[in-house]
Amino acid sequence: MKNYSGKVLLIVNTASYCGFTPQLGSLQRLYERFKSRGFEVLAFPCNQFGAQEPGNKQEVCSFAAEKYNVSFTIFDKVKVNGKDAVPLFKFLKSQSKGFLTSDVKWNFTKFLVDRSGKVVGRYSPITDPESIAPIIEKLF
């Protein structure tokens, strides 16, 4: 994650076969709007919710590029909850609790991180990424 030091980040657990998958388009528009100012969208495919991300990284990237013209970074598939959760999501959850528990509840949970690495927002799957734009704007 050192490659992203000093940048504003929107970190999202994604899935290709979820009702929220069209948010990939909104995420791409946000990325295009702010990337020149040091903004990154970091997508982490996850198959923990309804087995909605069965593909490998190549399949996920191809789908996102073909269907939503995604050009932001898509990482390897991860686990976001449980004992096998990757350290990044353990950190994000520890810094910004969710409703009732800190666990990620579903695909397309979004974490906004400022330039200093502080988690400044956690947004539910139903939150349209573009609605976060005014908050992102204030972080520059």
pLDDT tens digits for range 55-108? 999 999 999 999 999 999 999 999 999 999 999 999 999 998 766 678 999 999
Q: How far is CA 57 from the centre of its chain?
A: 15
Which pTM value belongs to this model? 0.95
Fold adopted by 2-137: Glutaredoxin (3.40.30)
Per-residue model confidence as pLDDT tens digits over 114-139: 999 999 999 999 999 999 999 999 99
pLDDT of residue 114: 97
What residues are labeled active site? 18
Sequence spans of domains, the chain? 2-137
Q: How far apart are CA 49 and CA 72, in angstroms?
A: 22
Confidence of residue 45 (pLDDT cuts 50, 70, 90): very high
Q: Which residues is 121 bridged to in the sheet?
A: 112
DSSP string, the chain: -GGGTTSEEEEEEE-TTSTTTTHHHHHHHHHHHHGGGTEEEEEEEB-TTTT---S-HHHHHHHHHHHH---SEE---B--SSTT--HHHHHHHHHS--SSSSS--STT-EEEE-TTS-EEEEE-TTS-GGGGHHHHHTT-
